[in-house]
Amino acid sequence: MIEAVSFLPITLTVNGVEVTRVVEPRTLLADFVRDDLGLTGTKVSCRLQVCGACTVLVDDLPVSACTYLAVDADGADVRTVEGLSDGENLHPLQEAFVEKFALQCGFCTPGFLMMSKALATENPTADRAEIIEHLEGNICRCTGYRPIVEAVECALARMRKVPSE
Amino acid sequence: MSDVPRPLKIAGQSVRRRDLVEKVTGAAEYCVDVTMPGMLHAKVVRSDRAHARILEINTGEALAHRGVVAVVTAADLKPLFPRFGHIIADHWILASGKVRYYGEPVALVVAESLADATDAAELVRVDYDDLPAVLDAEEALAAGAALVHEESYPATADDSFKILAGGVHETDASVEDRPTNLAHEVTLEWGDVDQAFADAAVVVESQAGYPMLYAYAMEPYNAVASYGDGELRVVSTAQHPYMVREDLARVFGLPLAKVRVIAPYLGGGYGSKSYTKVEPLAALGSWVTRRPVKLVLDIEESIYTTRVDSAQVQVRSAFAADGTILARAFDIVMDSGAYADNSPLVLAKCVNRCFGPYRVPNLRVRGRSVYTNTAPASSYRGFGAPQGNLAGETNLDRAAEQLGIDPADIRRRNLVAKGESLLPGKRGMDAELVADLDMVVASLERDRRDEPGYGIGFGCAASDAGAFPVSTAQVRIQTDGSVTVLSGSTEMGQGSRSLLAQVAAEELGVDLDQVAVVQSDTAITPYERTTGASRTTTLVGLALQRACADARAKIRQMAAEVAGVSPESVADAPGGVELPDGSTAGFGDVVQRWFGGSAGEVTGIGLLRREGPTQEMPPFWEIGMVGVGVDVDLETGHVVVDQLVTVADVGFAVNPKAVEGQDLGAATQGLGAALYEELVYDGPQLVNANVVDYRVPRMGDLPRKIDLMLAERRDGVGPYGAKGAGEGTLNPIGGAVAAAVARAVGRWPTRLPLTPERVWRLANGIEEDD
């Protein structure tokens, strides 16, 4: 039988805000941010780490939150799609996605944005081939991908001109 | 309004889509994000057999588990109507007496948390007595086959099905004298087919297998339901909330007005969220517990909830020596799984669409939809067209090869002309097909490479689209002149929220940012039959234009009253009216002055039915014109798409970039079916009911060249000459890829998807061994 579940306290920073919660050890980071913190921008689809919809940044690196334990994010700096813009203006990636029609239903979009944000940090001069390779792990069923590639190219170019972002 | 066409200001512009900003910030609400106060969570217990009698369901251990509030089984259905289904109400909410497929819901565990429900679902013990199972259509049609359904079910009262399905000579020979596994049969015939075959210069026979697919809308099926005080409220991932409302009202014996179905943003639909799915289960959980219940399926469960009909199609066509089609005969068998759902209509549409947009003087089509002990199949983007088109177009390409005629020329010779009849008694062709085809071929030829392993292919399709023309829309003019548009149509990514705002802004002469759009809430928005068959731009667009005209007429009347002039002397002006003295007044001024007290609101109502421009069926023909160029690695069979060329013959693109988005998206799904996607049954269960093994197109599969063209000839019945888009470019992709690969490797494939192994076998003349 199932043993009495123990709960563990975790403290982490999410979108710049420090949060402390007590969670079941099996709690996944995706469910933690969605259900415990109400940050429902992060979406879950395949639950097998292959569609990329649930991508968030943990200490600036992209992870599939559907298969990442919340307790493993203890002490980490987590960023979700809600933390991408500064609250006033869209992030250049968000703006480019809207301009280029790089989404339709939008369910995969938070994952694409966070994965692209990681690329912008790691390789701000990425060319088209590098963008495609970087985003190969994210599935979009609506757009046929080309508008997404164009949006990321456009955003990276703009961010190079305004290096603060 | 005057008869002189006014220059359009907002319609026709690629305006920024208003739903996209909410979606990129994470603020957009999808059903899966919705909670209700005091909400419980449900987990479905599913059959692990393909076909078995249920002997006993032991719920005791599960009920004793922490947090469990109820374990619901078929026994709880007794006071209710226990099945759903809008054509044939054959779909049991929970398996009763026996299970008909692996994955069928047998019980529902409702608990305080999802973790509790999930843990307890493991503790429900079901004893079965296995029955012989029929796992594909051939087995199911064999003499003495085990029966998926021993009883027949009365059809629902929805008579629009026959109108949607029907060509005039169509007979619907369904189901009365079961028991067999034939769920539905449709035939379509005209001319003297046998004589035409006897007279033919060349007869070409071929067959084509269309794979069993999964639409993979990335948001899985889910719903939150709350039952109480004789009312039911359901938030769900439904494309057609009004159709779901009808099923739920029947199940719970409630008036339609007491069932409220709300569809927030959908995380993808593609037809797979048409009609009722998990809503009865969530509602049943709430009906039993009297608390709100949320049910979210995972992707494996979603695959077992609704897949795409696979099809085997045999084709014979008779030709004159110059390539003129003399006759065509099709035999279609669809594997529709354990329940009918929308497969009868998918079949009927496949029958109407399989022979292509060609002049066929003598035609015979027989289509059968077959029950099997597999996951139920239902609507998918294209609606029977992809299944049938592959067979028809491949057959035509093979005929061109045999006759030594260019494959574009054989099509030009046979494509129906504008205004010409394609289906007797139906609307004449409202598109210029030869001109569209020429655009595709010119683009393909421009970049074709003459080298081993390279091939091009193209295909044509025309679908009797638009569904049944019943639409309503409302506009509410506010005291500041801003406008609320109400529509029952659903926003699932296709861009209707933005498009409807464009139409209202154009009609009323107000800025786009003065228009808000509210959609898909059966308690608030006016009736909309469905969101499918590419209907929204055309049909909701027309209803909305009428609503705007109605609001304008009311405002003119009110302005006349206030100014003390005759209503006829008041003219429309952008965002308001012009009075006989030449002065103008905005909508808001008129509303405020007529009501007094700076208050009030004027509602314009638009109603659309089968009359006037939408009397003839279909409301429009949805055209698919595509071409591909492929590079085949002859060593490995790996196919790279070098060119993708599409023409969207949409009459008028209200938002051109949005139309391009639909076209590329639809074509990409078509490429998935052509090259990668196939659900595979090995025994009673799928071997690839997940996104790892069921491979969908990824970014690295992007065609090297993508040429998306628009043909705007203002020849549709919709606003500004618009016709629908969104399915067309999917429909002929399969045939185009099959032809391109065949020309690259020198042999014709008989089934999709063209995986590397299959292409390698084709190239080397080695038969498949399964």
Q: Chain A partners of B660 at a C-beta cutoff of 8 Å?
A: 101
Range of the domain at A100: 92-161
CA B348 to chain centre: 14
| pLDDT for res B164 | 67
CATH of the domain at A122: 1.10.150.120
Q: Which residue of A has its CA nearest to B498?
A: A104
Q: A146 in contact with B at a CB cutoff of 8 Å?
A: yes
User: Does A45 contact B at CB distance below 8 Å?
Assistant: yes
Using CA atoms, how far apart are residues B695 and B674, in angstroms rounded to an integer?
12
- Contact between B115 and A98 using a beta-carbon 8 Å cutoff: no
Listed in order, strand segments (DSSP E) in B501-575 are 515-519, 571-573
Distance from CA of A45 to the nearest CA of B (A): 6
A64 touches chain B (CB under 8 A): no
Q: What are the φ and ψ backbone dihedral angles of A97, each rounded to 5 degrees?
A: -60, -40
Same topology for domains B18-28+470-609 and B307-467+615-764, yes or no?
A: yes
**Stretch (H or E) spanning B379:** none
Q: Domain check: are A18 and A74 in the same one?
A: yes
Instruction: Characterise B90 by phi-psi region: left (phi > 0), alpha (psi -120 to 50), beta (else).
Output: alpha
Domain assignment present for residue A2? The answer is no
Q: Edge to edge, what strands does the sheet with B454-465 contain?
A: B454-465, B620-632, B639-649, B705-711
Cβ atoms A97, A37 nearer than 8 A? no
pLDDT value for B170? 45
> Tokens representing B541?
């667009």
Question: For position B152, what pLDDT does the model report?
Answer: 81
A75 within 8 A of A95, measured Cβ to Cβ: no
Closest CB from A53, A82, A99 relative to B218: A53
Q: How close A85 gets to chain B, by Cα (Å)? A: 7
Distance of residue A12 Cα from the nearest chain B Cα, in angstroms: 21
Could you give the 3-state DSSP secondary structure of residue A56?
strand
Of B224, B343, B228, B241, which Cα lies nearest the Cα of B281? Answer: B224
- Looking at chain B from residue 30 to 59, which residues have their Cβ under 8 Å from any Cβ of chain A? 30, 32-33
B497 touching A (Cβ < 8 Å): no
CB contact under 8 A, A43 and B216: no
Positive or negative, the CA dihedral B739, B741, B746, B751 is: negative
CA angle B370, B372, B375 (to 5 degrees): 115
Phi and psi angles of residue B153, each rounded to the nearest 5 degrees, phi first: -120, 140
Task: Judge residue B410's burial from the number of C-beta atoms within 10 Å of its C-beta, 0-12 exposed, 13-18 middle, 19 or more buried.
Answer: buried
Contact state of A26 with B265 under an 8 Å Cβ cutoff: no
A1 lies in some domain: no
| Cβ–Cβ contact B700 with A under 8 A | yes
Whether A32 maps to a domain, the answer reads yes
Q: Is residue A3 part of a domain?
A: no
Contacts of B29 in chain A (CB under 8 A): 40
Taking alpha carbons only, the member of B366, B304, B422 closest to residue B685 is B304
Angle at B484 between CA B479 and CA B490, to 5 degrees: 170
Residues of chain B with confidence (pLDDT) below 50: 1-2, 168-173, 175
Tell me how far apart the alpha carbons of residues B109 and B68 are, in angstroms, rounded to a whole number: 7
pLDDT at A79 over 50: yes
**Does A147 map to a domain?**
yes
- Boundary-marking domain end, from A83, A102, A119: A83
User: B404-407 long-range contacts, Cβ below 8 Å, gap at least 24?
Assistant: B405/B322, B405/B323, B407/B457, B407/B458, B407/B739
A45/B220 touch (CB, cutoff 8 Å), yes or no:
yes
How many angstroms separate the CA of residue A89 from the nearest CA in chain B? 10
- Gyration radius from chain A CA atoms: 16
Q: What is the pLDDT of residue B533?
A: 85
- By C-alpha distance, which of B509, B461, B756 is closest to B635? B756
Distance from CA of B667 to the nearest CA of A (A): 8
Contacts of A26 in chain B (CB under 8 A): 115
Answer yes or no: do A109 and A127 share one domain: yes
B424 HSE (CA, 13 A, CB side): 12
Please state, as a whole number, how many other Cβ atoms lie within 10 Å of the Cβ of residue B636.
12
Count how many residues are written for chain B. Answer: 770
Q: Which stretches of B73-145 are DSSP H helices?
A: 114-121, 137-141
The four Cα atoms B400, B406, B408, B409 give a dihedral, to 10 degrees, of -90
Which chain A residues are closer than 8 Å to B691 by Cβ?
Answer: 45-46, 48, 50-51, 139
Cβ-defined contact of B23 to A109 (cutoff 8 Å): yes
Comparing alpha-carbon positions, the chain A residue that sits nearest to B120 is: A2
Domain count, chain A: 2
| Higher-scoring residue by pLDDT: B152, A153 | A153
Do A79 and A108 sit in the same domain of this protein? no
Pairing label, strands B363-371, B325-337: parallel
CATH of domain B18-28+470-609: 3.30.365.10
Cis peptide before A92 (omega within 30 of 0): no
Are both A101 and A54 inside the same structural domain?
no
Whether A146 sits inside 8 A of B265 (CB atoms) is no
Confidence check: pLDDT of A104 > 90: yes
Query: Residue B174 is encoded by which pair of tokens?
Result: 């369904």
Residue A47: left if φ>0, alpha if ψ -120 to 50, beta else—which one? left
CATH of residue A71's domain is: 3.10.20.30
Q: Is residue A38 a part of any domain in this protein?
A: yes
Both A15 and A79 in one domain: the answer is yes
Tell me how crowded residue B27 is: count the other CB atoms within 10 A of its CB: 13
Whether B217 and chain A come into contact, CB under 8 Å, resolves to yes
Q: Are B185 and B369 in contact (CB under 8 A)?
A: yes
Q: In terms of domains, do A52 and A73 share one?
A: yes
Q: Does residue B368 contact residue B184 with C-beta atoms inside 8 Å?
A: yes
Cβ contact B490:B269 at 8 Å: yes
Query: Nearest Cα to A155, choosing from A123, A116, A129?
Result: A116
What does each C-alpha distance from B729 to A109, B137, B381, B416 come to in angstroms?
23, 28, 10, 19
Domain end position, chosen among A57, A83, A109: A83
Rounded Cα distance between B459 and B625, Å, is 6
Q: Are residues A42 and A75 in the same domain?
A: yes
Tokens of B610: 């089968």
DSSP helix/strand/coil, B728: coil
Which of B197, B340, B213, B217 shows the shortest CA–CA distance to B270? B217
**B706: closest chain A residue by CA:** A146
- Where is the domain boundary, A58, A83, A108? A83
CB of B585 within 8 A of CB of B579? yes
d(CA B155, CA B495): 34
Tell me whether strands B182-190 and B68-73 are parallel, antiparallel or unpaired: unpaired
| Residue A53 and residue A75 in one domain | yes
Please give the sequence-ordered ranges of beta strands (E in DSSP) within B478-563, or none if there are none.
483-487, 515-519
Q: Which 3 state secondary structure label does DSSP give B184?
A: strand
Q: In whole angstroms, how large is the CA radius of gyration of chain B?
A: 27
| Residue B75, helix vs strand vs coil | helix
Domain residue spans of chain B: 18-28+470-609, 34-133+216-305, 307-467+615-764
CATH homologous superfamily of B34-133+216-305: Aldehyde oxidase/xanthine dehydrogenase, a/b hammerhead (3.90.1170.50)
Length of chain A: 165
Q: A27 to chain B nearest CA, in Å?
A: 9
With a CB cutoff of 8 Å and minimum separation 6, the contacts of B305 are: B103, B221, B277, B278, B297, B375, B376
- Residue A117 · residue B26 · CB < 8 Å: no
**B687 at the A interface (CB within 8 A)?**
no
Task: Report the C-alpha gap between B213 and B673 in whole angstroms.
Answer: 7
Same domain, A122 and A156: yes
Quick check: B665 and A144 CB within 8 A? yes
Do A100 and A120 reside in the same domain of the chain?
A: yes
Mark yes or no for CB contact B219/A107 under 8 Å: yes
**Using CB atoms and an 8 Å cut-off, which of residues 242-281 of chain B contact chain A?**
265-270
What is the structure's pLDDT at B168?
Answer: 40
B307-467+615-764 CATH pick, 3.40.50.10890, 3.40.50.300, 3.40.190.170, 3.30.365.10: 3.30.365.10
Residue of A34, A145, A148, A149 to mutate, testing the B interface (most B Cβ within 10 Å of its Cβ):
A145
Residue with tokens 């027309």: B542
Angle between helical axes of B433-446 and B407-414 (0-180°, round to 10): 170
